[in-house]
Amino acid sequence: MSEVRIRKVESLLLEEISNIILKEDLKDPRISKLLSITEIRVSKDLGFAKVYISYYGDRETFVTIVDTLNHASGFIRGLLGRRIRLKTIPQLRFILDESIEKGFKLIQKMKENLT
C-alpha cells in the first residue's frame, strides 16, 4: 500500500472518529468531550489502526476514557463502516498519549525557572 494512500486513510479516520466521539454518537458519560485525538497510525494492510488519545486531567479519568473507548471500538468501527467507503475498516486500538500533559508541565517548569 502506498504511503500516500495510508496517510489519506489516517486523515479520514481521524476526522470521522473525532466526529463520532464529539457529536454524541457515543452516549457513554465516562467519555469526556475534552479529549483530543493526537494521531492515528494505520498498518500497511489497513487492517489495524492505533488511535492516540490525549486528555488533560487526572490520570484515573484518562485511563477510564481509553478503556471505555477500547471497549466501544467494535461499535465505533461499525459506525465507521456506515460513514466511509473502505473495503476493510481497520480494527481500532485506543492508546494513551501523554504528550499534551507533558508539554504543559514542561512549560510550567520553564515559567518557574524564569521567575
Q: What pLDDT sits at residue 30? A: 83
pLDDT-derived band of residue 1, with 50, 70 and 90 as boundaries? low
Q: What are the pLDDT digits (tens) for 17-32? A: 999 988 867 788 888 7
Nearest CA-CA partner of 53 in 71, 40, 42:
40
Q: What single letter denotes the amino acid at residue 14? A: L
Q: Which residue bears the cell 478503556?
A: 67
What cell was used for 85? 467507503
Q: What pLDDT sits at residue 27? A: 80
Q: How far is the C-alpha of 82 from the C-alpha of 67, rounded, in Å?
A: 24
Residue numbers of the domain that contains 89: 3-114
For range 92-105, the mean pLDDT: 84
Q: How far is the C-alpha of 55 from the C-alpha of 105, rounded, in Å?
A: 13
pLDDT-derived band of residue 57, with 50, 70 and 90 as boundaries? confident
Q: Any idea what the CATH number is for the domain that residue 19 is in?
A: 3.30.300.20
Total structural domains in the chain? 1
DSSP secondary structure of 8-21? HHHHHHHHHHHHHH
- In this structure, what DSSP letter does residue 26 have? S
Lowest mean pLDDT among 63-67, 73-77, 106-110: 106-110
